[in-house]
Chains A and B, each alone.
Chain A
Amino acid sequence: MAEATLRTAPLDKARVLQWLQTYGVYAGVALLLVVNIVITPHFLSAENFRTQAVQVAPVIIVALGMALVIGTEGVDLSVGAVMALAASATALYLGYGLLPALLVVALFAAGVGLANGALVAFVGVQPIVATLALMVGGRGLALVLLPQLEDLRNPALASLGSGDALGFPYLILIAAGLALLVAFVVRRTTFGRQLLAIGDSRPAAELAGLPVRRVLILVYVACALLAAVAGVLATARLQASDPTSLGNLMELSAITAVVVGGTPLTGGRVNIAGTVAGAVLIQLLTATLIKHDLPPSWTQIAQAIVIVCAVYAARGRGKR
Chain B
Amino acid sequence: MAPPAEVLAVRGLSKTFPGVRALDDVDLTVHAGEVHALIGENGAGKSTLIKLLTGVYRPDAGRISFQGREVSFETPLEAQKAGISTIYQEVNLIPLLSVARNLFLGREPRTRLGLLDFARMNREADEILRTYGVRVDVRQSLRTLGVGAQQMVALARAVATEARVVIMDEPTSSLEPREVETLFTVIRRLRDEGIAVIYVSHRLDELYAVCSKVTVLRDGRRVHHGDLADLDRIDLVSTMLGRELGEVRAEGQTKFSGEHLIADDQPVLSARELSARHKLHGVSLDIRPGEVVGLGGLLGSGRTETAKAISGSLALSSGAVTVAGVPLRGGSTPAAIRAGISLLPEDRKSEGIVPGLSVRENIALAVLPRLSRFGLVSESRVDGIVDTFMKRLRIKASSPHQKVGELSGGNQQKVLLARWLAMNPKVLLLDEPTRGIDVGAKAEVQKLVDELAADGLGVLLISSDLEELIEGSDRVVVLKDGAVVGELTGDDVTEDQLMRTIAGEAPPRGTPEEAVTHG
Contacts and interface: CB of A to CB of B under 8 A. Distances in A.
B150 to A, nearest CB: 21
A201 B355 contact: yes
B19 interface: no
B354 A201 contact: yes
B353 interface: yes
> Which of A196, A200, A209 has most chain B Cβ within 10 Å?
A209
Interface in B300-342: 311, 313, 333-334, 336-338
Contacts of B353: 201, 204
B261 interface: no
Contacts of B338: 209
A234 B377 CA distance: 35
Nearest to A205: B354
Nearest to B338: A209
Interface stretch (A58-66, A184-192, A222-230): A184-192
A200 to B, nearest CB: 4
Interface centre among A190, A194, A210 (most CB of B within 10 A): A190
Interface stretch (B88-96, B171-179, B364-372, B454-462): B364-372
A189 B361 CA distance: 12
Q: Considering residues A191, A197, A204, A210, which has the most beta carbons from chain B within 10 angstroms of its beta carbon?
A: A204
A196 B355 CA distance: 11
B405 A320 contact: yes
B84 to A, nearest CB: 34
A190 B334 contact: no
B354 A207 contact: no
A200 B355 contact: yes
A189 B375 contact: yes
Interface string B359-386: 0010011101100100111010000000
B194 interface: no
A196 to B, nearest CB: 6
A97 B365 CA distance: 45
Contacts of A193: 361, 364-365, 368, 377
Interface residues of A, number: 22
B352 interface: yes
Given A204-B351, A268-B356, A188 B377 contact: yes
A11 interface: no
B354 A204 contact: yes
Given A189-B376, A194-B368, A207 B345 contact: yes
Contacts of A269: 356
B429 to A, nearest CB: 11
Nearest to A209: B337
A211 interface: yes
Nearest to A268: B356
Interface in A10-50: none
Given A190-B368, A209-B333, A204 B375 contact: no
Nearest to B361: A193
Interface string A157-193: 0000000000000000000000000000000111101
Contact of B376 (A188, A201, A206): A188
A1 interface: no
B365 A208 contact: yes
B357 interface: yes
Given A206-B333, A209-B337, A320 B355 contact: yes
Contacts of A197: 354, 357, 361, 365
A207 B377 contact: no
A206 B355 contact: no
Contact of B366 (A200, A201, A209): A209
A201 B350 contact: yes
B206 to A, nearest CB: 30
Contacts of B345: 207
Contact of B357 (A188, A206, A211, A268): A268
Given A207-B345, A208-B365, A190 B372 contact: yes
22 contacts: A189-B377, A190-B375, A190-B377, A191-B375, A193-B361, A193-B365, A194-B365, A194-B368, A200-B354, A201-B353, A201-B355, A204-B350, A204-B353, A207-B313, A207-B345, A207-B351, A208-B366, A209-B337, A209-B338, A210-B365, A210-B366, A211-B334
Q: Top 6 A-B pairs ranked by shortest CB distance?
A: A209-B337, A268-B356, A200-B356, A209-B334, A200-B354, A203-B351
